[in-house]
Amino acid sequence: MSKIAVVIPEANFRDEELFVPLEVWKKAGIETTLFSTTVGEVVGDLGGKATPQALLGTLDVDKFDAIAVIGGSGTITHLWENAELRGLLLAFEARKKLVTSICAGSVTLARAGLLSGKAATTYPVELMINELKAHGALYSADHAIRVGNIVTGDGPDGAGAYANMVVAALQHPEVVSAGN
């Protein structure tokens, strides 16, 4: 059974970007653990609630097959500059594990240097597109994009496509790239 470390901000994750993938991954038999910088209840942008199971600092890369950074307005504030998360993303990449993000989470990957020269997507607003491009990513308006061991999703409308592409990437790690 595959395991995904799901990272949400300590406030204001985007509800659909968390709950849709969690449901898809559960149906696919994938185990998820929710991480954040707090273990208290977190409220999403639309009022949904989630309770992280562990602190980000306790995430053991060797116990997971993938990491997923969820977007939302809180991701901009709490995760874009989080050095601990950046180190974890680089550790997953160094071990050739699956590194994924959706919406504002994609900027976190870009700022870690993981998207330079690669096609990637994010929520289609100027702030996030410009952040991807400023860090060398090749922006695409697709709902979900896979390049090697990296999957990015665009946002709420593409949450299902993103979640399914993560499932496919875990089931078929040998596939180099695909867009949706």
> How many folded domains does the chain comprise?
1
Does the pLDDT of residue 178 top 50, yes or no?
no
Give, as one character, the DSSP assignment of residue 23: H
Tens digit of each residue's pLDDT (9 = 90 or more) over 102-116: 999 999 999 999 999
- Check 34, 103, 120, 145 and give the catalytic one: 103
**Do residues 122 and 129 make contact, with C-beta atoms less than 8 angstroms apart?**
yes
Q: Rounded to the nearest 5 degrees, what angle is found at the Cα of 11, between the Cα atoms of 168 and 61? A: 45
Q: Give me the percent of the chain exceeding a pLDDT of 90.
A: 94
**Confidence bin at 173 (pLDDT 50/70/90):** confident
What does the DSSP assignment read for 92-129?
HHHTT-EEEEETTHHHHHHHTTSSTTSEE---SSHHHH
Confidence of residue 32 (pLDDT cuts 50, 70, 90): very high
CATH number for the domain that contains residue 24? 3.40.50.880
Phi then psi for residue 95, to 5 deg, are -90, 5
Which band of pLDDT confidence, cut at 50, 70 and 90, is reported for residue 176? low
Is a pLDDT exceeding 80 seen at residue 159? Answer: yes
Indicate the pTM of the whole model: 0.96
Q: Which domain holds residue 45?
A: 3-179
Q: pLDDT (tens digit, 9 = 90+) per residue, 118-157?
A: 999 999 999 999 999 999 999 999 999 999 999 999 999 9
- 161 belongs to the catalytic site: no
